[in-house]
Structure 1
Amino acid sequence: MKIRHHLRQLQIFQEVVRAGSLTKAARRLELSQPAVSAAIANLEQEVGFLLFRRNHYGTELTLEAEYLAEGVERVLTSLKHLGELSDGLRQGRAGKLLVGCKPGMSLSVMPRIMADYLSDYPGSQLSLQTFSSLHIRDAVSEGQFDVGVIEIQDDMHALDVTRYGIRLYLVLPENSPLIGHETVTAEDLNGLPFICLDEHHQSTIKLRNVMRAAGVNVHVVVSTHLFPSAIGLANQGIGHTLVDALTAEQFMTRRDSRITVVPFEPSIDLDIAVVTSRYHSPSRQCQGFLPYLHASIEACQRYSQQFGTRASASP
Structure 2
Amino acid sequence: MKIRHQLRQLQIFQEVVRTGSLSKAARRLELSQPAVSTAIANLEQEVGFLLFRRNRLGTELTPEAHYLVEGVEKVMASVKHLDELSDGLRQGRAGKLILGCMPGLSPTTMPEIMANYLHDFPDSNLSLQTFSSTRIRDWVAEGQFDIGVIEVQDDLHELEISSFAMRMHLAVPANSPLNGKPVITASDLDRIPLITLDEHHQSTLKLKNALRAVQAKCHVVIETHLFPSAITLVNAGVGHALVDPVSAYNFLMRRDCGLSIVPFEPGINLDIALITSRFHPLSRQCKHFLPYLVDGLEKWQTRALQPLSVNTAAC
TM-score, with length taken from structure 2 = 0.97
1:38 lines up with 2:1 in the alignment: no
Residue 185 of structure 1 aligns with which residue? 185
**Which structure 2 residues correspond to residues 27-176 of structure 1 after superposition, within 5 A?**
27-176=27-176
Aligned-residue offset at 1:309: 6.8
Contact 2:196 2:223 (8 Å CA) reproduced:
yes
Q: Aligned with 2:280: secondary structure?
A: coil
Contact 2:253 2:310 (8 Å CA) reproduced:
no
Contact 1:99 1:145 (8 Å CA) reproduced:
yes
Cα separation, 2, equivalents of 1:265 and 1:16:
79
Aligned in 2, Cα 1:310/1:30: closer, same or farther, shift over 3 Å? closer
Map Cα deviations across residues 74-106 of structure 1 (whole Å, 9 max, x no partner): 001000000100010011110000000111111
Aligned-residue offset at 1:245: 1.4
Q: How many residues matched?
A: 311
Contact 2:249 2:308 (8 Å CA) reproduced:
no
Q: Aligned with 1:105: secondary structure?
A: coil
Q: Aligned with 1:195: secondary structure?
A: strand
Aligned in 2, Cα 1:181/1:46: closer, same or farther, shift over 3 Å? same
Cα separation, 1, equivalents of 2:302 and 2:252:
19
Q: Aligned with 2:279: secondary structure?
A: coil
Map Cα deviations across residues 161-180 of structure 1 (whole Å, 9 max, x no partner): 00000010011111111111
Contact 2:251 2:257 (8 Å CA) reproduced:
yes
Residue 299 of structure 2 aligns with which residue? 299
Unaligned runs of 5+ residues in structure 1 are none
**Which structure 2 residues correspond to residues 181-260 of structure 1 after superposition, within 5 A?**
181-260=181-260
Cα separation, 2, equivalents of 1:145 and 1:108:
20
Aligned in 2, Cα 1:309/1:126: closer, same or farther, shift over 3 Å? closer
Aligned-residue offset at 1:34: 1.1
Cα separation, 2, equivalents of 1:54 and 1:239:
91
Contact 1:245 1:307 (8 Å CA) reproduced:
no
Contact 2:245 2:308 (8 Å CA) reproduced:
no
Cα separation, 2, equivalents of 1:310 and 1:46:
72
Cα separation, 2, equivalents of 1:169 and 1:108:
18
Map Cα deviations across residues 26-77 of structure 1 (whole Å, 9 max, x no partner): 1211222111111101111111111111111111111111111111110010
Map Cα deviations across residues 240-270 of structure 1 (whole Å, 9 max, x no partner): 1000112111101111111011111101000
Cα separation, 1, equivalents of 2:32 and 2:245:
71
Aligned-pair Cα RMSD in Å: 1.2
Cα separation, 2, equivalents of 1:279 and 1:154:
18
Aligned in 2, Cα 1:50/1:308: closer, same or farther, shift over 3 Å? closer
Residue 26 of structure 1 aligns with which residue? 26
Cα separation, 2, equivalents of 1:260 and 1:123:
42
> How many percent identity over aligned positions?
65
Cα separation, 2, equivalents of 1:15 and 1:310:
62
Residue 8 of structure 1 aligns with which residue? 8
Cα separation, 1, equivalents of 2:150 and 2:171:
23
Cα separation, 2, equivalents of 1:40 and 1:146:
47
Aligned-residue offset at 1:25: 1.1
Cα separation, 2, equivalents of 1:102 and 1:310:
23
Residue 261 of structure 2 aligns with which residue? 261
Cα separation, 2, equivalents of 1:279 and 1:99:
17
Contact 1:262 1:309 (8 Å CA) reproduced:
no
Aligned in 2, Cα 1:260/1:310: closer, same or farther, shift over 3 Å? farther
**Which structure 2 residues correspond to residues 273-312 of structure 1 after superposition, within 5 A?**
273-308=273-308
Contact 1:165 1:271 (8 Å CA) reproduced:
yes
Contact 2:252 2:309 (8 Å CA) reproduced:
no
Map Cα deviations across residues 112-169 of structure 1 (whole Å, 9 max, x no partner): 1100100100110000001111111111011110001100011011110000000100
Cα separation, 2, equivalents of 1:206 and 1:53:
86
One-letter identity of the residue aligned with 1:245:
P
Aligned-residue offset at 1:207: 0.5
Unaligned runs of 5+ residues in structure 2 are none
Contact 1:172 1:239 (8 Å CA) reproduced:
yes
Map Cα deviations across residues 206-238 of structure 1 (whole Å, 9 max, x no partner): 001111111122100000001000000000000
